[in-house]
Amino acid sequence: MAPLYTGPVSVGVTPSSLKSNDSCWCGSGRKYKRCHKQSQAPVRRGRLSPTRAVPEGIVRPDYAETGDPGTWIEPLVRPPEVIEAVRRASRAAAEVLAVVGAAVRPGITTDELDALAHEECIARGGYPSPLNYNGFPKSLCTSVNEVICHGIPDDRALVDGDIVNLDVTIYLDGVHGDTNATFLVGEVDEESRRLVQVTYECLMEGIAAVRPGQPISDVGAAIEAHARAGGYGVVRAFVGHGVARRFHGPPHVPHHYDPSATTVMQPGMTFTIEPMITLGTWRHVMWDDDWTAVTADKRRTAQFEHTLLVTDSGAEILTVAG
């Protein structure tokens, strides 16, 4: 794959090895953080490794062989046994995310992170839910810098100053648990650090808005208000979703205020909230792989996600490591 930075590089010095206060590789005499670190080239795709195998003893979701998840219906209010299963799967997903997140560093490839997520899911007796979901070729989504979501792991190495979202879902005991977080790679500029912090705050504002008897549009209203107060954009094309026996299903959970989102939240619902917050425009464009969504202006974006259970008084966060 082409390097993240193009142009002359001093002998023995690569952008991935530079620290923020080092002299920039381009020879300008300015500090790296004041020069090319602020104008990173767009992320480019790399080479994909072969599809990873899942052992025969692991129970698979319905789409594992065909790639087709179908459109069957399950109740919005989950039975108690399904809720307990989602709680277990969500805890496992949080554990996998913690392990893979701890491996993030300059020089590691997103494919190596995918391999780790794959093995961690299997070690817990689960199937990595993204694998072959509608044909997705990997076990983890890795979205770097301007990639909003659904980035495909490849041989691109993370470099100092990147931000990367890791989206983990595991299929365990017949249900899915879904979570993601954005991680800093090495020394990251203050603007990107603030974006990541505000995005996490947006997630928590959305969770705080979950109340039984209220429309699900309250979630997006809370997120959008917090993001816009800081001058950030909120991606509209991708939403939170119901999660249990199906990977993605009703209810749809917009992260901006959408008055048409009238589904009333009820105790026993399980769904995700996963806001995607941008430095610039909320609009997106798609790569021709039909998966990778990037910001239309190529400015950075961050995301955080939890799977939630609606309770009698609010929300229980299920994707918390045990």
Q: Domain locations in the chain? A: 82-317
Amino acid 212: pLDDT? 98
Write out pLDDT tens, residues 83-98. Answer: 999 999 999 999 999 9
Residue 166, pLDDT > 70, answer yes
Query: From CA 131, how far away is CA 94, in angstroms rounded?
Result: 18
pLDDT for the residue numbered 7: 28
Which stretches within the chain are classed as H helix?
Answer: 80-102, 110-123, 190-208, 217-229
Establish how many alpha carbons lie within 13 A of residue 158's alpha carbon, considering only the half-sphere containing its beta carbon: 29
Q: Is the CATH code 3.90.230.10 the one for domain 82-317?
A: yes
Residue 71: predicted pLDDT: 86
pLDDT for 261: 98
Per-residue pLDDT band for 35 (boundaries 50, 70, 90) equals: low
Query: Cα-Cα-Cα-Cα dihedral of 274, 280, 281, 285, to 10°?
Result: -80
Average pLDDT score over the chain: 91
- Please give the backbone phi and psi of residue 109, each rounded to the nearest 5 degrees, phi first: -90, 155
Whole-angstrom distance, CA of residue 139 vs CA of residue 167: 9
Q: Give the helix/strand (H/E) hosting 277.
A: strand 276-278
Assess contact for 207 and 223: CB atoms under 8 A: no
- Residue 17: the pLDDT is 55
CA 184 to chain CA centroid, Å, is 13
Contact yes or no for 168/103 (Cβ under 8 A): no
CA distance 106 to 86: 34
pLDDT in tens, 265-286: 999 999 999 999 999 999 999 9
pLDDT of residue 298: 96
Closest CA to 13 of 23, 3, 21: 23
Q: Which amino acid is at 6?
A: T
Count of Cβ atoms closer than 10 Å to residue 208 Cβ: 13
pTM: 0.88
